[in-house]
Structure 1
Amino acid sequence: MTRISTHVLDAVSGTPAAGLAVALRGPGGELIAEAVTDADGRVGALVDGPLPAGEHVLGFATGPWFAERGLEAFYPRVDVAFTVADRPHLHVPLLLSPFAYSTYRGS
């Protein structure tokens, strides 16, 4: 069993990125789950169950999110690839601005 969560912060405003669409794709590119960040910029359990081992991708729809706020963005989406192994919880945070982003393996 693996739980995958994320937290997205808008580095420009210093606030959570609420309302940002997130999709999880599996090793073969198949869509596993979709969600939208809550008021705190979080998706607490995008998946909470069995996942195949291997490379997965969290796709963040950043272009539409910035466009809704009247901001031009260089990255229309951010795809974060990571490996699912034998861990009960994987947290993948994203720090976002219109022209840069960073991520890390959270806890």
Structure 2
Amino acid sequence: MLSEALQHVEGPHVALAVTHAENQTDVSGATVLTSGHPIPDERGLKAGRQIVSLLSEACEHDQVIALISGGGSALIPAPVSGLTLSDKIRVNEVLLSSGLGIT
């Protein structure tokens, strides 16, 4: 998705992608980070912090394009106050072992 999107972006830009190791590939003009999927991990937590930092530097005239496909909640876990990464990991493990479909 990012490779295609960047073909339509003109001028200076910053691009960041987060994917799981099986999909990891270089994308010209972008930083690509790997993260855990389907189980969230510390890499994803760090990636989320990097995204927040990048967005905090954006000004009102910057354009932000977010491309999120399946797995985003595992790839970029961002526990709310009161929850931990361990909490999110445990919930994913319970759901994955439940035998239920994703829908």
TM range (shorter): under 0.3
Task: Name the structure with the higher helix share.
Answer: 2
Task: Name the structure with the higher strand share.
Answer: 1
TM-score w.r.t. length of structure 2: 0.23
* Higher RCO (C-alpha under 8 Å, 6+ residues apart): 1
